[in-house]
Amino acid sequence: MKLIDFTQVENIFIVCGKTDMRRQIDGLAATITEEYDMDVYNDALFLFCGGNKDRFKALYWEGDGFLLLHKRLENGKLNWPRNQNEVQKLTTQQLRWLLEGLSINPKISIKPAIKGSIA
């Protein structure tokens, strides 16, 4: 058995909205295949969050079985997107931001300097 190195996973997907956190491996895998018509056996990590936004689950196929991770935060909440019935592909950077409590779509960006202006 190996633990997941998120930087080496080909695809990272976040299931937006609320997921029933009582669901286990079979229920979460069924959500991916039936509701979103995606392949759970592809090299992909799927992330799910409940209503409280203080815990999440991650589902990953390791080649010989599923790995189900469940994390509950003691302090703070996740900045989980609530667009129901949507799955978004994340970069490893966006995953880091999410797990640090930041938005996966930051609104602040560095603007290029205007030509001829002094910095």
Q: Give the H/E segment covering residue 2.
A: none
8 A C-beta contact, residue 35 and residue 85: yes
Distance between CA atoms of residues 18 and 39, nearest Å: 21
**pLDDT at 79 (0 to 100):** 85
Residue spans of the domains in the chain: they are: 8-99
Q: Which residue has the higher pLDDT, 69 or 107?
A: 69
Q: Mark residue 82 as left, alpha or beta (left: phi above 0; alpha: psi -120 to 50; beta: remaining).
A: alpha
For 6, other C-beta atoms within 10 Å of its C-beta total 15
According to DSSP, residue 89 is labeled E
Average pLDDT for the chain: 86
pLDDT tens per residue, range 59-81: 999 889 999 999 888 888 888 88
Q: Which residue has the higher pLDDT, 88 or 8?
A: 88
Distance between CA atoms of residues 25 and 5, nearest Å: 20
According to DSSP, residue 111 is labeled P
The amino acid sitting at 109 is S
55 pLDDT more than 70: yes
**pLDDT at 110 (0 to 100):** 65
2 pLDDT more than 60: no
